[in-house]
Amino acid sequence: MPVQYYIFLSIALFCIGVMGVLMRRNAIIIFMCIELMLNAVNLLLVAFSKMWADAGRVDAGSAQLFVFFIMVVAAAEVAVGLAIITMVYRNTHSVDINILNRLKN
């Protein structure tokens, strides 16, 4: 199975995530699109690790642990980010990011 298949799948998922970040106004949906982009990159990392492990260059375990650490960081990021969104909602009663264009007053 050619690795291009996974490359194109990851690129498509990543671009859908970029599109969502640019198109939507809802802060929660933007956050979910960021998760989607992170997952596209993770998928590509796993595909490349399998590819180079088959070629005998690296061991696949290190790359998979790298993906594992990315998931750890993503989980921490989601916890803090959702807390921030909740606080924004409490202060402005909306999750529209256009309200946040002025962070002053």
Partner 1 sequence: MVLSVIALVSALGVVLSKNPVTSVLCLIVTFFTIAGHYIMLNAQFLAVVHIIVYAGAIMVLFLYVMMLMNLNAELEPQKRNWLKYAGAISGGALLVVLVAALRDASMPAISTEASEMGLIKNLGQLLFTQYVVPFEVSSILFLSAMVGAVVIGKKD
Pick one of 34, 41, 80, 102: the residue that binds partner 1 (CB under 8 A). 80
Pick one of 34, 41, 68, 101: the residue that binds partner 1 (CB under 8 A). 68
If one asks whether residue 100 binds partner 1 (CB under 8 A), the answer comes out as no
Window 15-34: residues binding partner 1 (CB under 8 A): 15-26, 28-29, 31-33
If one asks whether residue 41 binds partner 1 (CB under 8 A), the answer comes out as no
Which whole-number Å values give the CA distances from 67 to 62, 73, 93, 105, in the listed order?
9, 10, 36, 40
